[in-house]
């Protein structure tokens, strides 16, 4: 943590004066007055946002694995307090921002101290500019705040399911609550909402992060969310431009390609971006690492000598031509993480940054990894490389000035001077009050209940699935945590005996006779890297117990066995609703919850609105009130059972 000195206090005072000066800048100036005193190096640094997710000093790797430089091959020690070396790196270079992940965010007081220390390091730098402190807090699949302390909200597709009955109410109320939470903790930027139109059921990375398959619904909900975030003082981010919804490849692991015509692109993927920009003026827009030949079929040569269609992140036609020129967007353009394989497999760190800046991006997100002491000067070298690119004429200093002016204006609007310069103890007290807000928890419960959707029409007599005749319930749960959350929720509404079974043993356990009610809970497809954090999580994600084919085969066996036993059957799609088509003929009731996240505290109390909502819905005669915002096919060819 950086200790205030006379020098840092003087810089903080100068910062306040500079920010107050910026208040008087007109829109035409876009914060240009703040750029004049920066060196070229400082300007480029403002265009870079780092992560400080992990940092290791000395031997921290199990087994003592070393690379050729004598370092541990992997670092998984989360940064929960700012190491002096990281603070010095920030002070030395004055980067424009830092993004934090769930690993960095343990509890309220710790988060406040970490964010305060990060801002302190930035204030002590040569520029004295504060940081954009960013996080991916979308709700649902992508939730970074600790669930034991703060209300957590279902994600976008859950909100989309409430739209027919509630309009934009939940988009507005959940974003307003998240804005209060993040601001209290010291964040000023949220990389949300996602306004991709999920038109591909096999999309592994967007899917339920999308509001709907209707571009107009996505636009209306996205605009409401942006307005609520920004009215709450938090910079919102549209992502992922020009639209990641029709892909079947995760850009964390590859480079997706969208095969639409130009007319289709304008009617589907581009429509929400254009409408939200017009209606809500989002502070930031994030690029997508996708190829979209209908928008730009220019080719580049990769670092391996391969000729490829330019990714949107590096396309001047897409970022400057369409987003700025055609759509008139005046906010800040930030790249998606440049760690991701959709860029890093094809371009060096410096190439990716220079090309993204040349395309029109204002901020390069996570272009380098700082994990060990030997990484601490990577940022210096990267900035030097971009300075050299300006000298070679690859980048225009005039464009850089305009870009940094947009960043200055963003900071003027959204950096909370009182928070940055205030005392930590008072900020901790205030943040704890916000995190404990009963109003936030009420919104989370109401959203979970309103979002539950029957995937297919409910036959007469199916509901209530739990009544006085049900003495035993079996839940087939993909993880112990999901199973325990179901147990606690079901025991709160019924006196029935609840048994939790793993998918691979469930059918054989039921062979001798089943329960009155069998619930199959599915969270397929599996997690993508974005849910846990990023590229460094891929090795863990690949270690799955059962393949999707095997798991679906087990679910089928379970439902067939339950039906033979005369049990009632419920299939709950807790992630993607599309999968229910495989089991339509085998379950009496199919429910989409769009979310499966929960927290069980030390006293074995459940903090999981989605499980509570599901348990209550199964005791009611009326079907759930949500309406599926995507089309699920009438039926798919089922995956064959294991061994067939």
Active site residues: 336
Q: State how far the Cα of 288 lies from the Cα of 270, in Å rounded to an integer.
A: 12
Q: State how far the Cα of 44 lies from the Cα of 474, in Å rounded to an integer.
A: 58
Buried/exposed code over 392-427 (b: 16+ C-beta within 10 A; e: otherwise): eeebeeeebeebbbbbbbbbbebbbeebbbeeeeeb
Question: What three-state secondary structure class fits 458?
Answer: coil
Backbone angles phi, psi at 7, to 5 degrees: -65, -45
Residues 24, 33 contacting (CB under 8 angstroms): no
Buried/exposed code over 74-95 (b: 16+ C-beta within 10 A; e: otherwise): bbbbbbeebbeebbebbbbbbb
Spell out the residues 6+ positions from residue 603 whose beta carbon is closer than 8 angstroms to its own.
none
The string of DSSP codes covering 27-71 is TTTTTGGGTTT--HHHHHHHTEEEE-SB---S--SGGG-B-TTSS
Q: State how far the Cα of 22 lies from the Cα of 43, in Å rounded to an integer.
A: 17
Quote the tokens at residue 414.
């959204």
Spell out the residues 6+ positions from residue 321 whose beta carbon is closer than 8 angstroms to its own.
none
Q: State how far the Cα of 357 lies from the Cα of 297, in Å rounded to an integer.
A: 19
What is the gyration radius of the CA atoms in the chain, in angstroms?
Answer: 25
Buried/exposed code over 274-310 (b: 16+ C-beta within 10 A; e: otherwise): bbbbeebebbbbbbbbbbbbbbbeeebeeeeeeeebb
Buried/exposed code over 332-360 (b: 16+ C-beta within 10 A; e: otherwise): bbbbbbbbbbbbbebbebbbbbbbbbbbb
Between the alpha carbon of residue 390 and those of residues 41, 299, 365, the distances in Å are 10, 23, 20
Residues 55, 86 contacting (CB under 8 angstroms): yes
How many other β-carbons are positioned within 10 Å of the β-carbon of residue 444?
23
CA nearest 140: which of 243, 56, 211? 211
Quote the tokens at residue 51.
């992560």
Q: Which residue has the tokens 């990484």?
A: 375
CA nearest 568: which of 536, 549, 590, 550? 590
CA nearest 515: which of 443, 552, 465? 465
CA nearest 489: which of 477, 503, 502, 507? 477
Angle between helices 349-359 and 397-414 in degrees, nearest 10: 80
Q: State how far the Cα of 262 lies from the Cα of 244, in Å rounded to an integer.
A: 15
């Amino acid at each position: 943590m950086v200790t205030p000195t006379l020098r840092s206090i003087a810089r903080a005072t100068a910062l306040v004066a500079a920010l107050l000066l910026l208040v008087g800048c007109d829109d035409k100036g876009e914060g240009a007055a703040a750029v004049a005193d920066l060196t070229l190096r400082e300007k480029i640094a403002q265009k870079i946002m780092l992560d400080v997710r992990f940092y290791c000093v000395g031997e921290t790797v199990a087994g003592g694995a070393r690379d050729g430089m004598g370092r541990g091959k992997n670092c998984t020690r989360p940064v929960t307090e700012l190491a002096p070396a990281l603070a010095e790196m920030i002070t030395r270079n004055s980067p424009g921002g830092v993004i934090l992940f769930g690993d960095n965010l343990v509890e309220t007081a710790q988060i406040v101290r970490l964010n305060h220390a990060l801002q302190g390091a930035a204030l002590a730098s040569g520029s004295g500019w504060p940081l954009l402190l960013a996080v991916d807090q979308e709700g649902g699949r992508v939730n970074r705040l600790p669930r034991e302390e703060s209300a957590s909200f279902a994600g976008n597709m859950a909100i989309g399911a409430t739209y027919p009955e509630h309009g934009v109410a939940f988009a507005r109320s959940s974003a307003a609550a998240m804005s209060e939470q993040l601001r209290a903790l010291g964040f000023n930027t949220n990389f949300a909402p996602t306004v991709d139109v999920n038109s591909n059921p096999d999309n592994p990375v967007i899917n339920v992060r999308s509001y709907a398959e209707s571009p107009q619904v996505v636009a209306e909900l996205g605009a409401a969310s942006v307005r609520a975030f920004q009215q709450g003082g938090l910079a919102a981010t549209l992502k992922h431009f020009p639209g990641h919804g029709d892909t079947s490849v995760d850009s964390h692991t590859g480079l997706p390609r969208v095969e639409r015509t130009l007319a289709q692109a304008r009617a589907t993927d581009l429509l929400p971006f254009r409408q939200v920009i017009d209606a809500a003026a989002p502070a930031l827009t994030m690029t997508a690492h996708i190829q979209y030949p209908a928008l730009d079929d220019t080719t580049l040569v990769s670092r391996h000598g391969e000729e490829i269609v330019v990714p949107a992140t590096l396309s001047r036609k897409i970022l400057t031509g369409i987003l700025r020129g055609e759509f008139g967007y005046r906010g800040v353009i930030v790249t998606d993480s440049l760690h991701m394989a959709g860029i890093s497999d094809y371009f060096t760190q410096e190439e990716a940054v220079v090309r993204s800046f040349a395309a029109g991006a204002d901020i390069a997100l996570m272009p380098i990894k700082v994990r060990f002491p030997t990484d601490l000067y990577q940022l210096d070298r990267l900035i030097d490389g971009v300075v050299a690119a300006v000298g070679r004429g690859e980048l225009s200093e005039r464009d850089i000035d305009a870009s940094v002016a947009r960043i200055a204006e963003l900071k003027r609007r959204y950096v909370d001077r009182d928070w940055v310069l205030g005392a930590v103890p008072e900020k901790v007290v205030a943040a704890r009050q916000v995190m404990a807000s009963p109003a936030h928890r009420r919104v989370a419960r109401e959203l979970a209940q309103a979002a539950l959707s029957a995937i297919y029409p409910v036959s007469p007599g199916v509901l209530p699935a739990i009544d006085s005749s049900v003495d035993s319930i079996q839940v087939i749960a993909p993880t112990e945590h999901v199973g325990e959350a179901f147990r606690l929720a079901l025991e709160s509404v019924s006196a029935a005996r609840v048994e939790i079974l793993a998918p691979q043993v469930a059918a054989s356990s039921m062979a001798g006779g089943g329960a009155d009610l069998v619930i199959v809970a599915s969270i397929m497809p599996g997690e993508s890297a974005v849910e846990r954090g990023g590229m460094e999580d891929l090795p863990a994600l690949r270690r799955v117990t059962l393949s999707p084919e095997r798991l679906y085969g087990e679910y089928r066996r379970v439902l067939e066995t339950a039906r033979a036993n005369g049990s009632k059957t419920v299939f709950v799609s807790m992630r993607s609703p599309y999968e229910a088509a495989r089991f339509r003929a085998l379950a009496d009731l199919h429910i989409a919850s769009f979310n499966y996240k929960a927290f069980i505290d030390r006293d074995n109390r459940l903090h999981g609105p989605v499980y509570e909502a599901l348990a209550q819905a199964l005791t009611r005669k009326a079907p759930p009130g949500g309406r599926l915002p995507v089309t699920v096919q009438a039926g798919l060819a089922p995956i064959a059972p294991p061994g067939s």
